[in-house]
Amino acid sequence: MKQEIRFLESLLSQQRLKRIKQVVNSKIKNITVVLDNLLNSYNTSAILRTSEGLGLKEVFIIEKDYEFEINKNVTKYSHKWLGLNRFKSHHSCIKELKNKGYKIYAANVGEKSLKLTDIEINPEEKYAFAVGNEHDGISGETLKYADYEFSIPMFGFTESFNVSVATAVILSHTTYEYRKILGANSDLTDIEKNEIYFDFLKKAVKNSDTLLKSFYKRKQNSK
């Protein structure tokens, strides 16, 4: 991979490379968000933009009843820099999260709900914050498998936020606390950073797949 990285780096400016490295070195994997059957592409896309802006590595999307759509006018192509994990059922998404070691926190106002600000953030834990459908809220399937329920503290007459605003509040608070306790901008290993860096280089270079094929062919012919 080293030679391929050097080849792609040669096609970008130093300023662009510096920016890509900065973003890679700020990615976190232990906090993610689960979009539970959202139906509005504006909200979905706004959440993707927030997630990328706050340095999440990936998001999880349940599209059981409503197909996931990206509004590029809203994301401003920020979705390119996120891992998008899409699932047609709650069970398959939850199973994947559990297999990866995430504790699932479902956004839901109720007697059992923790306050967002009372959630103890530990760098050794993995947090998946699930937000629900604009009309029906979090699904019963997600609540069934959630480890915790939580809500955002409210102080006005307004009882809830729009789902994209709520997610921005949730992720802004938790990623800040996580990085502060971690004492670093990223929780990725050097190997993980290198893999993402290579992926981002391919996305940053126009027609990178074609160029890499040509590069591999030249390498083969030079042997």
SS3 of 116-155: HHHCCCCCCCCEEEEECECCCECCHHHHHHCCEEEECCCC
* Class at the top of the CATH hierarchy for domain 28-187: alpha beta
CA pair distance 48, 27, nearest whole angstrom: 14
pLDDT score, position 74: 95
Model confidence at 223, pLDDT cuts 50, 70, 90, reads low
- Tens digit of pLDDT for each residue in 123-140? 999 999 999 998 888 999
- Tens digit of pLDDT for each residue in 140-171? 999 999 999 999 999 999 888 999 999 999 99
pLDDT surpassing 80 at residue 186: yes
pLDDT surpassing 80 at residue 220: no
Q: Any residues with CB less than 8 A from the CB of 73 and at least 6 apart, and which?
A: none
pLDDT surpassing 70 at residue 99: yes
Model confidence at 104, pLDDT cuts 50, 70, 90, reads very high
Model confidence at 219, pLDDT cuts 50, 70, 90, reads confident
Query: pTM here?
Result: 0.93
Contact 59, 82 (CB under 8 A): yes
The pair of three-digit structure tokens given for residue 72, joined into one six-digit string: 């590029």
Model confidence at 110, pLDDT cuts 50, 70, 90, reads confident
